[in-house]
Amino acid sequence: MKLDLERIFKGVVLSLVFLGLSGGAIFAVNQFISSNFLTAGILAVPASLNEEGENLNQQPAEPPAQDFIEPAEPEDNLTIYAKSAVAVETDLAGKDKILFEKNADKKLPIASLTKLMTAVVVLENYDLIQNVIVSEKADSQDAMQPDLKTGDIFSVTELLYFSLIRSSNKAAYALSEQIGQEVFVDLMNKKAAEAGLQNTFFKDPTGLSPENVSTAKDLQKFAEYIIKHYPEVINITRTKKLNLPNLGEIENTNEILGEIPDIMGGKTGFTKEAGGCMLLIRKNLSTGGFFIYVILGSDDRFAEMRKLIMLSNL
């Protein structure tokens, strides 16, 4: 009887051990199957796929942490920041098409764009081969590099070129002195009225005075007047370089010359009060007419002139 009980007890113990081992083995097998077969895709849950074949059940990996970067402002290449601007297509026969304008009727200082009117008055009233001696008063005007000095002798034509190409204030003033500056400036204002420039006024022949004012539209109209009546002024302003006695080679202040096709001429200007100013004339090869561009009060007259030309082509 005792032996039977011992056998029964050992049988129970062995059964329990066997069951325990079996359960552990089954658990291990299940873990093995789950980890390896699922990885292999054999027992994976059927995936839902989008149109591109991507698994919609798959969770995207979390991106690594990055430092915050302020998004860049969108680049605005064609905004005109000048105080005033106009672009016009004209046939010089009264048919003008405005391509772009901004505050085109606003009166503003025009700096050395003044010298376009100085040139017209000289052409109407002077002997171009006459010699001019540079006075101390003329020499006291704001200087360019290179520039005139007291006692220099140049012809009216040479001074005219120098005032338009290099924007020499000394040359413009020396020219005005030949008939007296006050008389000269009076002739400038009379010519402005004759040309229909109702919002244009001149105080000096150089443009240094902030009282020399006009509007972009007036200057566009004046450009048309010059093309029709004084094309030699436009011819002078497209001269890129010129050699003058005792001054050497002078270079045009208009850096766009030679860069943009079909430029006929123009004039630059700058003073602290006026900011950057520019007038440019291009030939319209498709019609035989002209494009006239004016910018007043700019922090970057050349960059904005390029933008104005691009805008007028859109």
The catalytic site residues sit at 112, 115, 167
Give the torsion sign (CA, 109, 113, 119, 121): negative
Provide the terminal-to-terminal Cα distance of the chain, rounded to the nearest Å: 114
Quick one: which H or E segment has residue 235?
A: helix 231-237
3-state SS, residue 149: coil
Residue 192, token pair as written in the block: 């402005």
C-alpha separations of 36 from 42, 55, 212 in Å: 9, 20, 88
From CA 30, how far away is CA 43, in angstroms rounded?
A: 12
Question: What is the CB neighbour count within 10 angstroms for residue 287?
Answer: 12
C-alpha separations of 150 from 55, 141, 158 in Å: 87, 11, 16
From CA 266, how far away is CA 264, in angstroms rounded?
A: 7
Residue type, 24: G
From CA 114, how far away is CA 276, in angstroms rounded?
A: 13
From CA 282, how far away is CA 269, in angstroms rounded?
A: 18
